[in-house]
């Protein structure tokens, strides 16, 4: 279904709610999808050596991103996290019919509406897979996550390619793609798709939420247009250094090894949750988190009293009070969480 939106109503202010508000001190954090025990020690050492007195120079970081994805350097725009990329798109483009596929990360819609654009929602029902025909043909800007936050659905690359066409900007949020073994279904290396923007973040895999490091990939003319909305030195020197290092081969290999480990941890958690009455894991999860539907509403509050922070689901368009999102952690943490969930559900 679609829902043509007006400026924020009070009930819609929950769009600006994010998991860091749930992750309170003293709680086991399952609300934020950042890999545990990050940033790694080697990355911390490198960041400590950055010259903070010098103005940021993006040359090396841009080259590293380009090499990692097989793109030209002028097809890369470095950003202060993925969120800045959404803001640049909203400021630089003038869509007549913007469409955001939900449930998904709310910042693209927030950025578009803050820039004065009306937004048409395509809200997916469970199991949250997209039929390309649900996207209006008239849409000249389409935003979708892959794998999608919070559903953990990984959309086929062939489906996403079918959404690209001349006269349309297709924005694919791949913030969690490096948690997918082999980065299956990624469009990052496909520079031949018309109007396609792929957005990446270093926050999740490398634990750099406080540093704000990310980038987008698009055709050179589109990158140049988006860059006009970005101030000089928007990305800090430490963030540029982190981007350079995390796109180098050793770091890519480390992330790939973690993605394989994650699959096993996720499968065990899904199996354990299947034995909990009144609990259903949505879809076929492929990201570092699960979307869970429960028979009891607002379980995030009793779980907090059990010592666990989870992400409430009702702030995502298309979900409600019975939904929670849970990060996949190590076996012991997941086992303890399942026990707590069983005791309150």
Q: How confident is the model at residue 12 (pLDDT cuts 50, 70, 90)?
A: low
- The arithmetic mean of pLDDT across residues 188-200, rounded, is 97
Q: In this predicted structure, what is the pLDDT of residue 22?
A: 84
- The arithmetic mean of pLDDT across residues 139-151, rounded, is 98
Burial 151-164 (b: 16+ CB within 10 A, else e): bbbbbebeebbebb
Per-residue pLDDT reduced to its tens digit, 325-335: 999 999 999 99
Q: In this predicted structure, what is the pLDDT of residue 19?
A: 87
**Residue pair 28/307 in contact by the 8 Å Cβ criterion:** yes
Give the mean pLDDT of the chain. Answer: 95
How many Å apart are CA 93 and CA 96, to the nearest integer? Answer: 10
Q: How confident is the model at residue 5 (pLDDT cuts 50, 70, 90)?
A: very low
11 vs 180, higher pLDDT:
180
Per-residue pLDDT reduced to its tens digit, 60-76: 999 999 999 999 999 99
- CATH number corresponding to 9-37+252-344: 3.90.1150.10
- The arithmetic mean of pLDDT across residues 40-57, rounded, is 97
| Domain residue extents for the chain | 9-37+252-344, 50-248
Bridge partners of residue 289, in order along the sequence: 327
Q: In this predicted structure, what is the pLDDT of residue 345?
A: 86
Q: What percent of the chain shows pLDDT beyond 90?
A: 92
- Strand arrangement of the beta sheet that strand 196-201 belongs to: 2-4, 119-123, 98-102, 141-145, 169-173, 196-201, 214-217, 76-79
64 three-state secondary structure: helix
Q: In this predicted structure, what is the pLDDT of residue 11?
A: 44
Least confident of 6-10, 66-70, 134-138, 291-295: 6-10
Least confident of 7-16, 290-299, 302-311: 7-16
CATH pick for 50-248 out of 3.40.640.10, 2.60.40.10, 2.60.40.1930, 3.20.20.70:
3.40.640.10
Half-sphere exposure of 258 (CA within 13 A, CB side): 24
Residue 7 pLDDT exceeds 70: no
Per-residue pLDDT reduced to its tens digit, 207-241: 999 999 999 999 999 999 999 999 999 999 999 99
**DSSP, res 81:** H
The length of the chain, given as a count of residues? 345
Whole-model pTM over 0.75:
yes
Q: How confident is the model at residue 13 (pLDDT cuts 50, 70, 90)?
A: low
Residue 137 pLDDT exceeds 80: yes
If one counts every other C-beta atom within 10 angstroms of the C-beta of residue 293, the result is 16
How many Å apart are CA 323 and CA 315, to the nearest integer? Answer: 10
- The arithmetic mean of pLDDT across residues 193-200, rounded, is 97
**Is residue 142 reached through a cis peptide bond, with omega within 30 degrees of 0 on the bond before it?**
no
């Amino acid at each position: 279904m679609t829902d043509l939106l007006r400026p924020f109503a009070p009930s819609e202010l929950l769009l600006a709610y994010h998991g860091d508000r749930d992750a309170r001190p003293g709680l086991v954090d399952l609300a934020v999808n950042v890999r545990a025990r990050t940033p790694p020690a080697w990355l911390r050492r490198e960041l400590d050596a950055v010259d903070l007195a010098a103005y940021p120079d993006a040359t090396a970081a841009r080259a590293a991103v380009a090499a990692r994805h097989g793109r030209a350097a002028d097809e890369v725009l470095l950003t202060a996290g993925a969120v800045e990329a959404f803001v640049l798109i909203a400021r630089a483009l003038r869509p007549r019919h913007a469409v955001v596929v939900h449930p998904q990360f709310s910042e693209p819609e927030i950025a578009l509406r803050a820039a004065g654009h009306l937004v048409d929602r395509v809200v997916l029902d469970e199991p949250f897979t997209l039929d390309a025909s649900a996207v209006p043909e008239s849409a000249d800007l389409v935003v979708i996550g892959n794998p999608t936050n919070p559903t953990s659905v990984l959309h086929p690359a062939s489906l996403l390619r079918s959404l690209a066409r001349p006269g349309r900007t297709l924005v694919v949020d791949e913030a969690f793609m490096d948690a997918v073994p082999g980065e299956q279904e990624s469009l990052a290396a496909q520079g031949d798709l018309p109007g396609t923007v792929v957005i990446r973040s270093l926050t999740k895999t490398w634990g750099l939420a406080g540093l704000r490091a990310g980038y987008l990939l698009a055709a050179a003319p589109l990158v140049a247009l988006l860059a006009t909305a970005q101030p000089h030195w928007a990305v800090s020197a430490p963030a540029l250094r982190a981007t350079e290092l995390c796109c180098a081969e050793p770091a890519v290999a480390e992330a790939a090894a973690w993605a394989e480990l994650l699959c096993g941890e996720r499968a065990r958690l899904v199996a354990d949750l299947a034995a909990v009455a009144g609990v259903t894991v949505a879809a076929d999860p492929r990201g570092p988190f699960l979307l869970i539907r429960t028979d009891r509403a607002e379980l995030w509050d009793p779980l907090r009293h059990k010592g666990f922070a989870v992400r409430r689901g009702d702030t995502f368009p298309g979900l409600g009070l019975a939904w929670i999102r849970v990060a996949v952690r190590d076996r012991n943490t997941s086992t303890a969480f399942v026990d707590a969930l069983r005791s309150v559900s």
